Amino acid sequence: MKVILNAEQIESKLRDLAEVIASVTPPEDDLAIIGVRSRGEILAQRLAAALSEQLGKPVPCGTLDITLYRDDLNSPHGTGQPLVRTTEIGFDIDDKTIILVDDVLHTGRSTRAALDALIDLGRPKAIRLAVLVERAGREFPIQADYAGYKADVGPGQKVQVNLIESDGKNEVVVE
């Protein structure tokens, strides 16, 4: 196991993402952050706080559960019933520029599920993807608009994001 980002580096990457997003988002855009459960929601909360500070105004933040939109839901190799949790978006997404946040972009399947789920909730002006870690291995034509770190890992390796809120520590490791 190799640590590729420590706690300080994770926070630095999130600050950098907030700066880039703030610099390219027109002031007239109605911006909102939505995180994909579970680590994406934690990163979204952190990113929304950083963006609120950068922009000098509150940036709403919500959480999206994609369980029922996953394409492996009925896989014969599945292990029991999926855990469906709530989507918590306390604002209308219509005409907003949504920054969709996830921890790792790998195959693109989770992002595709998140896009389907978001479109079922309304019609945003635009959806942009922000990820903490981007790696190779796309199976769908999906790319990050904003990536904190591009990991050079092999196909058999796994990138694991650990966050203090859910895992008791802040680090990104390659297994």
CATH code (residue 14)? 3.40.50.2020
pTM above 0.85? yes
Instruction: Answer whether residue 5 is part of any domain.
Output: no
Instruction: Answer whether residue 26 is part of any domain.
Output: yes
| Token pair for 148 | 């904190």
- Spatial distance between the Cα atoms of 68 and 76, rounded to a whole number of angstroms: 16
Instruction: Answer whether residue 167 is part of any domain.
Output: no
Q: What is the pLDDT at residue 38?
A: 85
Q: What is the pLDDT at residue 91?
A: 97
What is the pLDDT confidence band of residue 81, given thresholds at 50, 70 and 90? low
Instruction: Answer whether residue 172 is part of any domain.
Output: no
Instruction: Answer whether residue 163 is part of any domain.
Output: no
When divided into structural domains, the chain yields a total of 1
What does the pLDDT look like over 144-170, one tens digit per residue? Answer: 999 999 999 988 899 999 999 999 999
- Spatial distance between the Cα atoms of 175 and 158, rounded to a whole number of angstroms: 5
Q: What is the pLDDT at residue 99?
A: 98
Instruction: Answer whether residue 24 is part of any domain.
Output: yes
What is the pLDDT confidence band of residue 84, given thresholds at 50, 70 and 90? confident
Range of the domain at 100: 10-69+86-151
DSSP tag of 69:
G
Q: Mean per-residue pLDDT for 48-56?
A: 96
The pLDDT > 70 percentage for the chain reads 93
The amino acid that residue 71 corresponds to is D
CB neighbour list of residue 57: distance below 8 Å, 6 or more residues apart? none
CB neighbour list of residue 40: distance below 8 Å, 6 or more residues apart? 64, 101, 102, 103
Q: What is the pLDDT at residue 75?
A: 53
Instruction: Answer whether residue 169 is part of any domain.
Output: no
Instruction: Answer whether residue 63 is part of any domain.
Output: yes
pLDDT at residue 175 is higher than 70: yes
